[in-house]
Chain A
Amino acid sequence: MIRRRRVAAAGGYYVCAASLAILFLYPLLWSGWASVHIGSRWSLQNYRNLLTYRDGIGTYLVNSVIVTALTVAGTLFVSLLGGYAFGRFSFPGKNVLFLATLAILMVPYPTILIPLYVFLGDLHLQDSLVGLSLVLVMFQLPFATFMMRNAFEAVPGELEDAALVDGCGSLGVLLRVLVHSVRPAVITVALFALLAAWNEFFAALILLNSSEKFTLPVAVVAMEGHSFGSIDYPTMQAGVVFMAIPCLLLFGILQRSYVRGFMSGALKG
């Protein structure tokens, strides 16, 4: 009697959970389906449109990869060191700097783009992938610094003390010991920086001028508006799928690590 109820409860759970899972997966599955159909006909024409657009998808792909790589590298560099500083040291101005970093989340980013654009011009970084990457690193800092700080805070002091006793300086402690303990958080930060940089549309549109420097999102949006009064929906979905697939693959590969990353950066405020 109880066993049947338990089985029924388990069954109910799985039906409910599975339905929700299908609901969540459906848009992505539909997008994939729509990208290879025109009307109800199977067609690869949408992808062909994508591949042959203006400078060629290869150019935009390379640009996106460059921006993404630079953003991830930059974010990791700044937030790893920054998280170390905030998590294990105290110094004058620490709280102010931390709050200033978090404040980045509170400013509507279209607002800051015009002065940023002007400023990048003065640094001779206008219309450059490097300039765009630096801006994207800045946008990543609140989340990344927060995660890394919590991760470093969670490392037991004994680990650090042991390394110091062995004669390592603070840099040695970081590179030899701590970096391994915070690895899950590092992976999470890297993953989120990668996703943000890969998918960034508005900042790329504003900060890049030459079409051969465009990243994928800008090219995809420009692609579907080529005549006034019609949107090329199927090609648009091909663009969506093209941009989503690398991210989804990466997700699948790293899924265990980033969950642990969240837990080690467990949100204690």
Chain B
Amino acid sequence: MRTYLRRPRRAVLAAAVAITALVLSGCGSGASSSTSASGGGGGGGSADDGTTVTMWTRAGTQTQTQALVDAYNAGHKNKVKLTVFPNEQYPDKIATSAGAHALADIFTSDVVFAPNYVSQGLWSDITADFDALPFKDAVLPSHIKAGSAEGKVYAVPHAADLSVMFYNKALYKQAGLDPDKGPASLAEFADQARAVAKLGGGVHGTYFGGNCGGCVEFTFWPSVWADGGQVMNDAGTASTIDSPQVQAVFKVYHDLYADGTADPASKQEDGTTWLGALQSGKVGIAPGPSSWLPLIRAKGVDVGVAPIPGVSGGTSTFVGGDVAGIAASSSHSRQAWDFLSWSLGDSAQVGVVAKSGQIIARTDLAANQYAAGDPAVLAINRVMANGHTPYALNFNATYNDPQSPWTSTLRGALFGDAGSALAGGQSAITKSLNQH
């Protein structure tokens, strides 16, 4: 199991003695691609044998991940040891450690980066184990798709985060709007935002992340999907951003910014203070991640949750969040799978995740006991079924990275000439999607 690790290491040491290009170029060889999870870890017997399993995640999911880890450790002989990394540097950490064959046993990643990691062979094949799960069809399908390639599964959902509309009930009442009903269409959303903006006194109609690729894709794309449009082809190799549906969605937000309904600070919002707007209680309605619900409530703001609508109707959501997989270099794959499969089971999903107000990763548990008492959570769970997780190999470089072509495109479409921004953006994005 360890041999494929030793060969490159010996080669690098040999290179230290005689630095020749020939020897060094041999040092990258020998590392085989992903190993099968069921093949690792040795023979039969229980997978809960008191092993220490290392796990990495990013700071953004640490509350939920830690809760799952603690619950698992309390009831099992295996112990999962969790390390949390700063959000922005987490991909760097994964890349460096992968390059050095030194990943943890389990590591999570933003679901949109999963196709890339799968193509790089960073996670091992868990198809057989996954198919053995009795509830496998209810496990968030869009996450499974993102973590699969050629029919093989490499990653499972870990923390789900969906995009929804949050609206401030108090402000809605003040503006004469129905505090129990969100907008049924994006056009209605704009009207409601404008109604709230009229209240004045530092109150704004809406807020968005105008300098943040990740924020905009998360919250705008569902409207496109609800209208039956697409932002890319299924394979993630061609952008279709210059389409009537996308143009229509951008126009709504563009006009909201132009007439001052949207908080002017939206223009520079790069995601780091995105939550603050809704927490301040001075924004009427804004789309955001479902994981914000407890955080907004913690500031004493009474919010209603509604699905994100299309321009003329329909609803959809961006099924985001994190997936988790077993590193291809791990030698504890059976024990690692023990934890992952447990985390998808009923006791974990309902007893830990749903109980703490987080979003579960199973469509069949949508109406669990904890959700039943909270209409906001129920609304979020229900919208999961019509959600999508977009798929692209070069997702980070194309959409999320601050220097991505998507970031320039959306800024042009929101604050400049939308027509040329989307047209030019489509070719730039397509080019980026295809850079090996």
Contacts and interface: CB of A to CB of B under 8 A. Distances in A.
Do they bind each other? yes
Interface of A: 54, 113-114, 117-119, 121-122, 126-127, 202, 205-206, 209-211, 218, 221-223, 225-231
Contacts of A54: 84
Given A205-B93, A229-B271, 18 more contacts: A117-B96, A117-B97, A118-B12, A205-B89, A206-B92, A209-B97, A209-B104, A222-B59, A222-B84, A222-B86, A225-B86, A226-B59, A227-B63, A227-B291, A228-B271, A229-B215, A230-B276, A230-B279
Contacts of B97: 117, 209
Nearest to B58: A225
A221 B63 CA distance: 16
A229 B85 contact: no
A54 B96 CA distance: 24
Contacts of A221: 86, 89
A210 B83 CA distance: 6
Given A222-B84, A226-B62, A206 B275 contact: no
Contacts of A229: 215, 271-276, 288-289, 292
A57 B170 CA distance: 41
B100 A114 contact: yes
Contacts of B84: 54, 211, 222
Contacts of A210: 54, 81, 83
Interface string B91-102: 011001101111
Contacts of B19: none
B85 A127 contact: no
Nearest to A222: B86
Given A118-B12, A228-B291, A230-B276, A205 B85 contact: yes
Contact of A205 (B63, B81, B86, B104): B86
* In the A-B complex, the 10 residue pairs with the closest CB atoms: A229-B275, A229-B274, A211-B83, A230-B275, A225-B59, A225-B87, A222-B86, A117-B100, A221-B86, A118-B100
Contacts of A226: 59-60, 62-63
Nearest to A207: B96
Given A119-B12, A121-B100, A230 B86 contact: no
A122 B11 CA distance: 10
A119 B295 CA distance: 43
Contacts of B16: 119
B9 A121 contact: yes
Contact of B12 (A122, A209, A227, A228): A122
Contacts of A202: 89
Contact of A126 (B83, B99, B100): B100
Contacts of A211: 82-84
B35 to A, nearest CB: 19
A225 B88 CA distance: 9
Nearest to B60: A228
Contacts of A227: 60, 63, 275, 291-292, 295
Contacts of B289: 228-229
A113 B12 CA distance: 15
A90 B16 CA distance: 27
With most chain B CB atoms within 10 A of its CB, the pick from A114, A210, A211, A229 is A229
Given A54-B84, A122-B9, A205-B93, A225 B60 contact: yes
A187 to B, nearest CB: 34
Nearest to A202: B89
13 contacts: A121-B102, A122-B9, A127-B102, A202-B89, A206-B92, A209-B54, A221-B86, A225-B87, A227-B63, A229-B271, A229-B273, A230-B272, A230-B274
Nearest to B56: A209
Nearest to B320: A228
